[in-house]
Each structure stands twice: as C-alpha cells, then as structure tokens.
Amino acid sequence: MFNKIYDWVDERLDIAPIWRDIADHEVPEHVNPAHHFSAFVYCFGGLTFFITVIQILSGMFLTMYYVPDIVNAWESVYYLQNEVAFGQIVRGMHHWGASLVIVMMFLHTLRVFFQGAYKKPRELNWVVGVLIFFIMLALGLTGYLLPWDMKAVFATKVTLTIADSVPLIGPAIKTLIAGDPTIVGAQTLTRFFAIHVFFLPAALLGLIAAHFIMIRKQGISGPL
Amino acid sequence: MHRGKGMKFVGDSRISANGKPFIPKDYSEYPGKTEAFWPNFLLKEWLVGAVFLVGFLCLTAAHPAPLERIADPTDTAYIPLPDWYFLFLYQLLKYSYASGPYNIVGSIIIPTLAFGGLMLAPFLDRGPERRPAKRPFATSFMLLAIAGVVFLTWQSVYYHDWDKAASQGKIVEGVAIDKEAGGYKALEANTCLSCHGAELTGGAGPALIDTGHTADEIKDIAKNGTGGMPAGIFKGSDEELEALAEFLANLSAK
C-alpha cells in the first residue's frame, strides 16, 4: 500500500533525489557519540532544533486559548494555567523551553567557536547562526510581555526605555515596537504578539532552513 | 552546473532528470567508522531526543511556569527584572560609566562591540588553525566574554531583592471587604490604604489579606513598622488600633 503510493508520487515527481539529499549521507566517526563519547558536544545544535520544534508546537496550542488584549490576556493565561486540562504542562513547556533553547544554543555556539568550525568555508553559516541567536533573544523578549502580568509589563518598560535611548532612531524604534511614543498598553501587546507569533518565527524558519542547507552542502567540519 | 540547451527534466517539471544531487560529503578523507544517517544514526538521535523530552517534561511537571498578578502600570514601586538571559545586559546599565550620561556606552557601544565581534568572528580570526590553544586571541576574547557575562549575571542575581520580588508580584485572591467596618475606617484614616491598596491587595506595600499575623503582631507593626515600612504611621487612638488589628487578623481569603 505504502509502496504503491510512493511509486505513484515518485513516477510524477521523482522524489528519490529529494529525500536522498536530505537523509542519505554518512555520519563520520568523529561526531558520533557511539564511537567517541566526547562527541556529545555535537548534540547541542540538534537539541536546539528539537526544542525549537517543541516551542513551535506548544506555542500553536497556547494560541488556542491566549487572547492578545490587555483586558483578557492575563485572564486567559490564568485560565489556561489553572483550568484547562494539561494547560499547565503546555505553558510550562513553552516557558522552560524558552530558557533551554537559549542554553542549548549557547553551548552549540561555544562548541563551534572553540573548535574553530566557523573557518573557511563555513563563515556564512556562522553569520546565519548568530542571526538565529538574535532572533531567539528577540523571541524571548517579546514573549515575556504576553502573559501581561506585573513582571512582563515592567520588564518591557525597561526594554522600551533602552530602545528609546538609541541615538537618532531610538524614539522611532520605540514607537514601532510599542505602537505609541509614550504609552505601554493595548497597542504594545498586540504588536509584541504579532512580532512574537508571525514576524520572528517566519524569519527564524528561513534562517534555520539556510543553516541546514549550508550544512548539507558543506558537510560537518572535520576532526580537530 | 549544466544549464540551458540539452537539459532534461522529469516530465514537464523543473526537476532535472540528470542533474547532480546535493553532493553528500565524502568523508573518505577522515577514514573511520562512518555510519549511515538514515536510518541508523537518526534512530540514535531519536533516542537521545526521547530521553531529553522525558527530563524536560519532568521539569515542567515539577516547576509550573510562574504567573504574577495582572499588570498594574500605576504601581511605581515595582522593581522590574528581565528574563535571566538578559540580566547581564541589564546589570551593565547599573554601573556609573555605563548609565546616566554614559548610557550610550552600556546600551549601545559595549553590546554592539560584543555581539558584532561574535558575528564577525570568522572574518576577525582568519588563520588556518582550529585548535583553541593555537588561536590565543580568539580563545581568550571568548573566555573573557563568558567570564563577563557570568559575572554580570551573578551580580544582578546577588543584588536583586528576591523576597520583595516574590511578594510584589504575588496573585492575591480578592475578598469581599466590609468597608463600613471600624477596622477598615481606621486603615483609611491612617493612610494605610495608600500603600496597601483600597482592596488591601497590596501596592507599594504587601497585601494585608492572609498576613498570618496575630492581632498583637499587627498592632506592633502598625506602630513600629517593619521592613520597608517606617515606624509611626499609625497615629490613631488605642480603640482604633484594636479594631484595625482585629479586622486584619480575621481577614482571610477562605
């Protein structure tokens, strides 16, 4: 049955080269923890991606309950946390995942840095990786406001004050992300929501795709 | 890559019939025990992921995500704190040469140099050597940066008032308060409400619901203060004090 479907699709699209590009390659000995346990340092990048997938899935479920307006945002999070079946687990995964993804990405960055794996020909992949790091930090920053509790609003006020202090373009940046030159309120919450849920994930997926395509194209760096 | 005339496609698609696939890296230059990614290595990755997921779920079950009380932007006494991975940047802004008139140093120059340097690392460290010991500058700059981040984060955590942080954001169950009671009137007359809130759910001072104090302790605090509350705020009569203490001691969310 499965074979017939595969053949039917393959006859029309020639999909064998596509999945072979993705999956059909050898994993060299020096990155395989089964051969050298110290190779576990090569797991950090994959775990970062794994947590990113968890973040996307748990975030999708959170938006089924979350309401991005200042009257209902906190109430909806409170309801999700205390009333909805497994709501506490889903929100907990998203909350702790946000921290873990930073930890894993930090370890992955250090692994690549100290192994000098960013050297020619992999310079571009390093730059894309650092951009992913920035996107992740921005996701953490915008996501922090969404529960609309005390720490969320006051941390965001601090962030906006810092953005405001940038010379020349500071006030414009602040107005862009807060929705108003002075008020931190309804508009700020909807902007942060849009940035957190649509803009940044779109940028993140594009960058991650570029990151992986470059890895497949160049292969993993050799042993030291 | 072959382009233009003579190219063959699968059907009328744009998929090349004789195009070279993505070149899987030939690892013959590092001879050793290579392993096929699909399916052997992927299965192992899957197992590592499963073990990780179990640990992760244990964490989420043991420590529910925190939620403070609903935002009240008028509460000016709240001490803000960003998420832990921004603490080092936040702490940087508290030093005299990185804040006030030098704000631009702490908010722009240092972060730009640090993150810019990180991003441009491949173009700054261009030698062929890869071992950390053979790249003394790159290695020592990175170690210095890590030490700086760890130190700033530790400073920020060390100097934050965690007790106040725990009480200032606590969700307080509101209770129906008898605002005609003598105790409430005494609170009102002695300006207690300006810090503890008209609903006694807290503000600059902590909530007065479920304090856990006895009436005598409350009398003492009202007169002599405690923590950030100065002495001598209560100026009323002894009868008022008695009513106030009884009122608060019996004020419970249950």
pLDDT tens profile B211-223 = 888 888 888 888 8
The reply to whether B150 and B194 lie within a common domain is no
Q: Span B8-35, mean pLDDT?
A: 66
Is residue B168 assigned to a domain? no
* Amino acid of residue A100: L
What ipTM does this complex have? 0.92
Residue B75 CB neighbour total at 10 angstroms: 16
**B residues 11..50 contacting A (CB < 8 A):** 11, 13, 15, 17, 19, 21-25, 27, 29-30, 32-38, 41-42, 44-45, 48-49
Q: Of B127, B160, B193, which residue sits at a domain end?
A: B160
What region does B196 belong to: left with phi over 0, alpha with psi -120 to 50, or beta? alpha
CATH placement of domain A29-115+126-218: 1.20.810.10
Is residue B66 assigned to a domain? no
- Record the pTM: 0.83
* Average pLDDT along chain A: 94
**B residues 144..203 contacting A (CB < 8 A):** 146, 168-169, 171
Among A94-98, B3-7, B118-122, B226-230, the range scoring the smallest mean pLDDT is: B3-7
Task: Look up residue A91 and give its two tokens.
Answer: 């929100």
Among A61-65, A125-129, A214-218, B224-228, the range scoring the smallest mean pLDDT is: B224-228
Distance, CA of B81 to CA of B153 (rounded, Å): 12
Q: Span B77-82, mean pLDDT?
A: 88
For chain A, domain boundaries:
29-115+126-218
pLDDT band per the 50, 70, 90 thresholds, residue A142: very high
Q: Best interface-test mutation with B: which of A26, A42, A66, A79 has the largest number of B CBs within 10 A?
A: A26
Q: Which residues in chain A have Cβ-Cβ distances shorter than 8 Å to B203?
A: none
| pLDDT higher than 60, residue B47 | yes
Return the CATH number at B202.
1.10.760.10
Is residue B228 assigned to a domain? yes
- Number of helices (H) and strands (E), helices first, in chain A? 10, 1
The reply to whether B149 and B216 lie within a common domain is no
Position B224 scores a pLDDT of 84
Position A40 scores a pLDDT of 94
Q: Which domain holds residue B132?
A: 84-160
Position B250 scores a pLDDT of 80
Q: Which has the higher per-residue pLDDT, A161 or B176?
A: A161
Residues of chain B with pLDDT > 90: what percent? 38
pLDDT band per the 50, 70, 90 thresholds, residue B2: low
Is residue B62 assigned to a domain? no
Task: Look up residue A69 and give its two tokens.
Answer: 């307006």
The reply to whether B151 and B209 lie within a common domain is no
Is residue B99 assigned to a domain? yes
Distance, CA of A190 to CA of A196 (rounded, Å): 10
| pLDDT higher than 90, residue B52 | yes
Position B29 scores a pLDDT of 60
Q: What is the total count of domains within chain B?
A: 2
Q: Which of A195, A44, A25 minimizes the C-alpha distance to A129?
A: A44
Is residue B153 assigned to a domain? yes
Q: Of B160, B191, B214, which residue sits at a domain end?
A: B160
Q: Span B217-241, mean pLDDT?
A: 83
| pLDDT higher than 60, residue B21 | no
